């Protein structure tokens, strides 16, 4: 048995984890809440990357999965009391997963650019459904007055109300999700998914059940988006149709791009960079979206120019060549 | 529903479909020829409407707004193609999506800086600002009829250009087989630029003609973008004829959905899209397997 020296990426991961664990010692509540927000969007981006990076499915309806889970929490919250965490969380995640299954069944009949357009259309359908109907306040959104808690025999055992508790739950969740996705990427399923992405015809002729593999990945990915959406709604105490908008999906895609498409934990860095950037820009400029847009454009142009992967600082579950870029919709 | 009301709804559906076609044909042309998916298409539609408002407010002339707005959009399209879009031809669709996203953020805020975020109304040209009395209590707006007629003319010109001119021949060849056309030595750079700019101009023109009958508001681009995509998915991507068919289907479904099934009218067109996806995943007039 030989001892393998830890790679730079692994060392950095350990450092990041230590910093994350000790953060409450030196950071104020504001930064704790910011860190929680980063972790939540990180879970969304990591989940999305299972579909985009591993599966080659550029989905624009993950915002809808994210938002629907938030709405499920809002609708399940009883008036001014806290919702029970142990029942509403599974409910929200299952709701998002079921939605992903339903949309996936239709959208996965298509490939490439069609898939992008179809997921966009279904996602926005849900946006308008919540926006135009009276569900949970319609276009005004709805408040969640108390954060979810765990109540056993009438006694409160745990509540997400304290920023510190919330932060540690998010940290634990992020680690679990990252571990799960790494295992998934290294599993036979992960390899099959990558095979389907890289060469569908060959994978099909090798006997892989293409549709089922893609759909499974899409549903898991959608469920993770729901997981993130549930906690995002819990943190902000508010849900609005904008949570379902395709702009949420697009922002998560930018995070995936920053972190590296073939990396499991890379999107976390993307989440940190983009969320941090937004926070700074919002504080400094009135027209911060203009600047954010310019930065996104610059990023795309730079990356398209050859530097295809910025995620060199992160652990790659699968070190492999990035498939040659091609207009996949153009057969 | 009386025959007359039915007729009015049919005219509404047709007028709606024609504007949809105007916008969606730009989207489908750009994708068909350039292989570029332009999610910022709706933003140019919104920009067109604001330009119409601005030019009419400054000059009082709607004709000037139509010409000026379209020209501005075309020039903007040429500039964007040269500086940004052409770098992403043949690239991952993900990159194209994200470039569009960045563009939307920039265009939305630029609109805010230039025109503000207020909701506006635009007056139609005076000579079209009337109604035709059909019965004692039913009438139809002349401007709506004019939109339908105008869009029909634009569509006819577009079909004529594509089917009968040398540029149209290149466009058709490019849509059929890009690599082969390039190998035959047809200069694509300029063609690409003008096709992209024309697509943008069509989106803006759609926004301009719709401005007098709808309100001009910041979020109007998103709704149009989604509907254009539904149209393109229905008809088959890259097919202008498909866009016409898809637009008619969406127009009829939406208009009559609001009359007959008001409770689910907002999701009816998406159900239509889902049904077509099950039946023909590559669109009604789309070619081959995707």
Give ∠ CA A28-A34-A40 in degrees, rounded to 5: 140
B219-228 residue pLDDT tens: 888 889 989 9
Instruction: Pick A250's closest partner by Cβ from B98, B108, B113.
Output: B98
Domain count, chain B: 1
> Is A87 a member of any domain?
yes
> Is B278 a member of any domain?
no
- The predicted pLDDT at position A215 comes to 96
* DSSP reduced 3-state for A84: strand
B263: nearest CA partner in chain A: A133
Q: How many A×B Cβ pairs under 8 Å?
A: 153
Query: In which residue are the tokens 């009218």 written?
Result: B265
- The predicted pLDDT at position A320 comes to 41
- The predicted pLDDT at position B290 comes to 41
| Mean pLDDT of the A56-80 span | 90
Poorest-pLDDT segment among A36-40, B16-20, B95-99, B263-267 = B263-267
Q: Could you tell me if B71 lies within 8 Å of chain A, comparing CB atoms? A: no
How far is CA B44 from each of CA A232, B154, B202, B219, rounded to the nearest angstrom?
32, 18, 9, 12
> Is B271 a member of any domain?
no
What six digits make up the tokens of B254? Answer: 């939406």
Residue A44: φ, ψ to 5°? -60, -45
- The predicted pLDDT at position A5 comes to 64
Instruction: Pick A129's closest partner by Cβ from B88, B112, B266.
Output: B266
User: Do B231 and A89 meet the contact criterion of CB atoms below 8 Å apart?
Assistant: no
- Domain with residue A210: its CATH number is 1.10.3470
> Is A330 a member of any domain?
no
Q: Which of A99, A113, A139, A253 to mutate to test the interface with B (most CBs of B within 10 A)?
A: A113
pLDDT at residue A306 greater than cutoff 60 = no
What six digits make up the tokens of A184? Answer: 């998934």
Q: Which residue has the higher pLDDT, B219 or A315?
A: B219
CA distance A161 to A233: 13
| Closest approach of A138 to chain B, Cα-based (Å) | 14
The mean of the pLDDT values for chain A is 84
Domain range for B32: 11-217
Q: Which residues of B touch A52 (CB under 8 A)?
A: 94
> Is B168 a member of any domain?
yes
Q: Could you tell me if B88 lies within 8 Å of chain A, comparing CB atoms? A: yes
Q: Which of A121, A198, A262, A328 to mutate to test the interface with B (most CBs of B within 10 A)?
A: A121
| Mean pLDDT of the B27-43 span | 89
| Closest approach of B160 to chain A, Cα-based (Å) | 25
Q: Could you tell me if B114 lies within 8 Å of chain A, comparing CB atoms? A: no
> Is B266 a member of any domain?
no
B167-217 residue pLDDT tens: 888 877 877 777 777 777 776 778 888 899 999 999 999 999 999 988 899
Burial class (CB in 10 A: 0-12, 13-18, 19+), A207: exposed
Instruction: Pick B101's closest partner by Cβ from A106, A113, A296.
Output: A296
CA distance B206 to B21: 9
Residue A203: φ, ψ to 5°? -60, -40
CA distance A135 to A152: 31
> Is B73 a member of any domain?
yes
The mean of the pLDDT values for chain B is 87
- The predicted pLDDT at position A50 comes to 94
Instruction: Pick A114's closest partner by Cβ from B107, B109, B290.
Output: B290
What six digits make up the tokens of B36? Answer: 């570029």
Q: Which residues of A touch B106 (CB under 8 A)?
A: 289-290, 293-294, 297
- Sequence-distant contacts of A82-88: CB under 8 A, at least 24 apart: A82/A146, A82/A147, A82/A148, A82/A149, A82/A151, A82/A159, A82/A161, A83/A144, A83/A146, A83/A148, A83/A149, A84/A148, A84/A149, A84/A150, A84/A151, A85/A148, A85/A149, A85/A150, A85/A158, A85/A160, A86/A150, A88/A148, A88/A230
Count Cα neighbours of B251 within 13 Å in the Cβ-side half-sphere.
Answer: 22
Test A132 with B109 for CB contact under 8 angstroms: no
- The predicted pLDDT at position B247 comes to 94
Test B93 with A58 for CB contact under 8 angstroms: yes
| Mean pLDDT of the A204-218 span | 92
- Length of chain A (residues): 331
Q: Which residues of A touch B90 (CB under 8 A)?
A: 325-327
Helical residues (DSSP H) of chain B, grouped into ranges:
3-34, 41-59, 62-83, 93-115, 142-164, 166-176, 178-183, 188-210, 220-235, 240-260, 265-279
Structure confidence at residue B18 as a pLDDT band (50, 70, 90): very high
- The predicted pLDDT at position A4 comes to 62
> Is B176 a member of any domain?
yes
> Is B263 a member of any domain?
no
* DSSP reduced 3-state for A155: strand
Instruction: Pick A121's closest partner by Cβ from B94, B103, B270.
Output: B270
> Is A15 a member of any domain?
yes
pLDDT at residue A316 greater than cutoff 60 = no
- The predicted pLDDT at position B1 comes to 65
pLDDT at residue A319 greater than cutoff 70 = no
Q: Which residues of A touch B229 (CB under 8 A)?
A: 117, 120-121
Q: Which of B31, B109, B111 to mutate to test the interface with A (most CBs of A within 10 A)?
A: B109
Domain count, chain A: 1
- The predicted pLDDT at position B32 comes to 82
CA distance B177 to B182: 9
pLDDT at residue A327 greater than cutoff 60 = no
Structure confidence at residue B287 as a pLDDT band (50, 70, 90): low
pLDDT at residue A133 greater than cutoff 90 = no
* DSSP reduced 3-state for A321: coil
Instruction: Pick B281's closest partner by Cβ from A58, A109, A122.
Output: A109
Q: Which residues of B touch A326 (CB under 8 A)?
A: 90, 92
B111-152 residue pLDDT tens: 999 888 888 888 888 787 778 777 777 778 888 889 999 999
B67-116 residue pLDDT tens: 999 999 999 999 999 998 888 887 888 899 999 999 999 999 999 998 88
Test A305 with B230 for CB contact under 8 angstroms: no
Instruction: Pick A287's closest partner by Cβ from B91, B112, B281.
Output: B112
* DSSP reduced 3-state for B131: strand
What six digits make up the tokens of B234? Answer: 């229905």
pLDDT at residue A326 greater than cutoff 60 = no
Query: In this structure, are strands A238-239 and B131-133 parallel, antiparallel, or unpaired?
Result: unpaired
Query: In which residue are the tokens 């039913």 written?
Result: B138
Instruction: Pick A121's closest partner by Cβ from B103, B112, B229.
Output: B229
- The predicted pLDDT at position A330 comes to 38
Q: Which B residues, 118 through 157, put their C-beta within 8 Å of a C-beta on chain A?
A: none
Q: Which residue has the higher pLDDT, B83 or A136?
A: B83
- The DSSP line for A209-274 is -HHHHHHHHHHHHHHHHHHHHHHHHHHHTEE-GGGGSHHHHHHHHHHHHHH-TT-SSHHHHHHHHH
| Mean pLDDT of the B61-71 span | 92
* DSSP reduced 3-state for A151: strand
Domain range for A146: 8-313
- The predicted pLDDT at position A318 comes to 40
Q: Could you tell me if B229 lies within 8 Å of chain A, comparing CB atoms? A: yes
- The predicted pLDDT at position A28 comes to 85
pLDDT at residue B53 greater than cutoff 60 = yes
Burial class (CB in 10 A: 0-12, 13-18, 19+), B133: exposed
Q: Which residue has the higher pLDDT, A219 or A142?
A: A219
CA distance B289 to B266: 30
- Residue A281 neighbours by CB under 8 Å, 6+ apart: A288, A291, A292
> Is A328 a member of any domain?
no
Q: Which B residues, 31 through 50, put their C-beta within 8 Å of a C-beta on chain A?
A: 31, 35, 37, 39
pLDDT at residue A217 greater than cutoff 70 = yes
Q: Which of A297, A298, A309 to mutate to test the interface with B (most CBs of B within 10 A)?
A: A297
Q: Could you tell me if B232 lies within 8 Å of chain A, comparing CB atoms? A: yes
B235: nearest CA partner in chain A: A114
| Closest approach of B228 to chain A, Cα-based (Å) | 10
* DSSP reduced 3-state for A158: strand
Q: Per the confidence metrics, is the pTM higher than 0.90?
A: no
> Is B247 a member of any domain?
no
Count Cα neighbours of A297 within 13 Å in the Cβ-side half-sphere.
Answer: 19
Instruction: Pick B93's closest partner by Cβ from A116, A133, A257.
Output: A116
| Mean pLDDT of the B41-52 span | 94
């Amino acid at each position: 048995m030989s001892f393998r020296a830890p790679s730079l990426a692994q060392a950095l991961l350990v450092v990041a984890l230590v910093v994350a664990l000790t953060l409450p010692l030196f950071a104020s509540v504001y930064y704790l809440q910011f860190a929680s927000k980063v972790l939540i969007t990180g879970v969304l981006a990591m989940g999305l990357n299972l579909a985009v990076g591993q599966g080659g499915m550029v989905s624009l309806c993950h915002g809808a999965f994210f938002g629907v889970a938030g709405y499920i929490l809002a609708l399940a919250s009883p008036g001014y009391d806290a919702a029970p965490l142990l029942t509403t969380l599974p409910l929200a995640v299952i709701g998002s997963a079921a939605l992903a299954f339903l949309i996936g069944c239709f959208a996965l009949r298509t490939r490439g650019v069609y898939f992008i357009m179809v997921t966009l259309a279904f996602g926005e359908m849900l946006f308008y459904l919540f926006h135009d109907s009276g569900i949970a306040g319609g276009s005004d959104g709805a408040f969640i007055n108390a954060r979810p808690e765990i109540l056993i025999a009438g006694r409160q055992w745990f509540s997400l109300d304290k920023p510190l508790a919330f932060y540690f739950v998010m940290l634990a969740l992020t680690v679990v999700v990252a571990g799960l996705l790494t295992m998934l990427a290294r599993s036979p399923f992960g390899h099959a998914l990558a095979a389907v992405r890289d060469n569908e015809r060959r994978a099909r002729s090798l006997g892989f059940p293409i549709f089922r593999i893609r759909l499974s990945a899409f549903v898991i990915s959608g469920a993770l988006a729901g997981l993130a959406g549930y906690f995002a709604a819990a943190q902000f105490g508010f849900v609005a149709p904008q949570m379902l908008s395709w702009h949420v999906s697009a922002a998560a895609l930018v995070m995936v791009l920053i972190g590296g498409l073939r990396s499991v934990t890379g999107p976390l860095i993307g989440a940190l960079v983009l969320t941090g950037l937004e926070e700074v820009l919002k504080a400094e400029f009135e027209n911060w979206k203009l600047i954010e847009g310019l930065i996104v454009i610059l990023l795309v142009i730079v990356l398209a120019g050859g530097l295809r992967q910025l995620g060199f600082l992160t652990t790659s579950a699968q070190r492999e060549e990035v498939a040659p870029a091609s207009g996949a919709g153009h057969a | 529903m009386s025959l007359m009301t039915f007729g009015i709804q049919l005219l509404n559906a047709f007028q709606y479909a024609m504007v949809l076609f105007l916008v969606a044909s730009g989207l489908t042309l750009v994708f068909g020829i350039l292989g570029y998916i332009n999610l910022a298409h709706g933003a140019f539609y919104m920009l067109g409407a604001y330009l119409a408002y601005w030019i009419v407010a400054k000059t009082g002339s709607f004709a000037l707004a139509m010409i000026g707005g379209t020209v501005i959009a075309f020039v903007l399209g040429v500039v964007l193609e040269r500086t940004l879009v052409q770098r992403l031809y043949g690239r991952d669709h993900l990159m194209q999506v994200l470039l569009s996203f960045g563009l939307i953020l920039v265009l939305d805020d630029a609109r805010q800086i230039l025109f503000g975020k207020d909701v506006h109304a635009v007056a139609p040209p005076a000579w079209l600002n009337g109604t035709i009395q059909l019965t004692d209590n039913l009438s139809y707006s002349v401007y709506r009829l004019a939109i339908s007629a105008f869009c029909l003319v634009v569509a006819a010109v577009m079909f004529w250009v594509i089917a009968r001119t040398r540029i149209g021949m290149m466009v058709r060849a490019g849509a059929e087989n890009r690599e082969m056309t390039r190998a035959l030595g047809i200069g694509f750079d300029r063609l690409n630029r003008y096709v992209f700019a024309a697509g943008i101009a069509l989106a803006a023109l759609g926004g301009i003609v719709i401005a007098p009958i709808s309100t001009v508001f910041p979020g109007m681009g998103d709704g149009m973008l989604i509907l254009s995509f539904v149209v393109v998915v229905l008809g088959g991507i890259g097919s202008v004829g498909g866009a016409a068919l898809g637009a008619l289907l969406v127009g009829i479904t939406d208009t009559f959905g609001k009359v007959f099934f008001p409770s689910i009218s907002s999701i009816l067109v998406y159900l239509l899209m889902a049904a077509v996806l099950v039946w023909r995943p590559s669109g009604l007039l789309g070619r081959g397997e995707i």
